[in-house]
Structure 1
Amino acid sequence: MSRQDDQAGQSEEATSRGLNRVMFRKLVVVAVLMFGFGYALIPVYRKICEVTGVNFLTPKDVTVEAPANTQIDKTRTITVEFDGNAQGPWRFRPTVASMQVHPGEMTQVTYEVVNTQPRNVDAQAIPSYAPLQSAAFFKKVECFCFTQQTLGPNQAKQMPVVFYIDPKLPKEVTTITLSYTFFEINGKAKTAG
């Protein structure tokens, strides 16, 4: 083997090493970009779901904080009426038709549901308010509507709603109706057991 062949072999080897380094750098950049994309995907996915309403039935009201020292407006009384609509195999109703509350006062009401079927049922409650403007001032701290409910065969359940009315509620609103529609999620028959 001549010296020229030796130099050509070394030159090819140096070129190959240089190409390998360039490829390695490109692969590192791609791996870092993939990691960054995967990390950013979670908050982007949550925001897309929130905006489109997908998998976002009734969120917990994150603006609600359990008031430590709430100022209760004793000069005003609001009548809160309760309603329950059943869309499925059960009986669903509030345990009281209405109550008088002061804005800022923490209050609890209970809804009762009875599964009338000999099978498990998955259900969800969706709230609505009248007048519509009162929804922004009706603050739920605890509610069965935050999560999906599973009722066993012929099971009866008492479900609480803990709420308060924001004292900033416009003065002309003196009555609020809280209505829940309770409906079956999937409609598939499930056997108990």
Structure 2
Amino acid sequence: MDKGTVQQTDQQINKASNSKVIKKLVLVVFAMFGFGFALVPLYDVFCDITGLNGKTNDVAVTYADNGIDSSRTVKVQFITRTAQGIPWKFEPVINEISVHPGEMKFVNFYAKNNAQREIIGQAVPSVSPGLAAGYFQKIECFCFTQQPLMPGEEVEMGLQFYVDLELPSEITTLTLSYTLYDITDKNDA
């Protein structure tokens, strides 16, 4: 075999090898893309199984007056935080309250805009332990709506809720956590 034939054969082998590598890389890219789409439902299933990520209802429920279980007391703790970049003071007026399952309660949260511009805030709730999230029923909540505040403006925002009678008896403490986000730019669009 002459030198030209050897080079041509090497080029054909390299082309075939490169073609296989490109096909594998394209397959990996599509697999990664598909995995990215599957992450949200997989995360939801994982959270349902483990009881993590205590998502609460994001719409108001009607108060189910099925009585009050006065033999049980559940401590409900309130925690707030502001996301990075929102210069608000945001805190619960009271840090915890004791409730009987089935009993309706009303609490307030305080917010003040310390910025020099109007900011629209949105609070996102989470309940811990996650298993209890389905039993924490919000009748009225400031988290259902956006909260626009002018510079220096302060407000008390209400939460009306009850703990469902079906809450498992081993759960004696719930923690309701709110994270406040600045959504001003999203409203301008």
TM-score (norm 2): 0.65
Q: Deviation of residue 119 (structure 1)?
A: 1.0
Partner residue, 1:92? 90
Q: Does 1:131 align with 2:167?
A: no
Unaligned runs of 5+ in 2: 1-40, 42-56
The AA in structure 2 aligned to 1:181 is T
Shift of 1:102: 0.2
Deviation at 1:89, TM superposition (A): 1.0
Give the aligned partner of residue 73 of structure 2: 77
CA-CA distance at 1:187 after TM superposition? 4.7
Question: 2:58 matched to which residue of 1?
Answer: 59
User: 1:110 matched to which residue of 2?
Assistant: 108
> Amino acid of the residue matched to residue 130 of structure 2?
L
* 1:86 partner amino acid: T
Distance 2:171 2:118 in 1: 41
Secondary structure at the residue paired with 2:82? strand
- The structure 2 residue matched to 1:101, chosen from 93, 99, 102, is 99
CA distance in 2, matches of 1:165, 1:59: 16
Write the letter of the residue equivalent to 2:78: F
Which one has the largest radius of gyration? Answer: 1
Aligned partner letter, 1:185: I
Residues 148-190 of structure 1 deviation map (CA, whole Å, 9 limit, x = unaligned)? 11011110010000000000000000000000001101358x9
Report how many aligned residue pairs link the two structures. Answer: 130
> Aligned residues: percent identity?
42
Matches within 5 A, 1:157-168: 157-168=155-166
Following the alignment from structure 2 to structure 1, what is the Cα–Cα distance between the partners of residues 130 and 79? 15
Q: How does 1:1-20 map to 2 (within 5 A)?
A: none
The residue number in structure 2 matching 1:15 is: none
In structure 2, the residue matched to 1:12 is none
Counterpart amino acid of 1:136?
G
Describe the SS at the equivalent of 2:90.
Answer: strand
Counterpart residue number, 1:46: none
| In structure 1, C-alpha distance between the alignment counterparts of 2:140 and 2:181, rounded to whole Å | 20
CA distance in structure 1 between the aligned counterparts of 2:68 and 2:114, rounded to whole angstroms: 41
In 2, the alpha carbon distance for the partners of 1:135 and 1:103 equals 14
Instruction: Report if the CA contact (8 A) 1:70-1:105 is conserved.
Output: no
- TM-score, length-scaled by structure 1: 0.64
Measure how far apart 1:118 and its partner are: 1.6
Give matches, 1:138-177, under 5 Å.
138-177=136-175
How much has 1:70 moved relative to structure 2?
Answer: 3.3
Inter-partner Cα distance in structure 1 for 2:58 and 2:150: 24
Superposed CA offset, 1:116-170 (max 9, x none): 0121101100001100011100000000000111011110010000000000000
Q: CA separation in 2, counterparts of 1:101 and 1:179?
A: 17
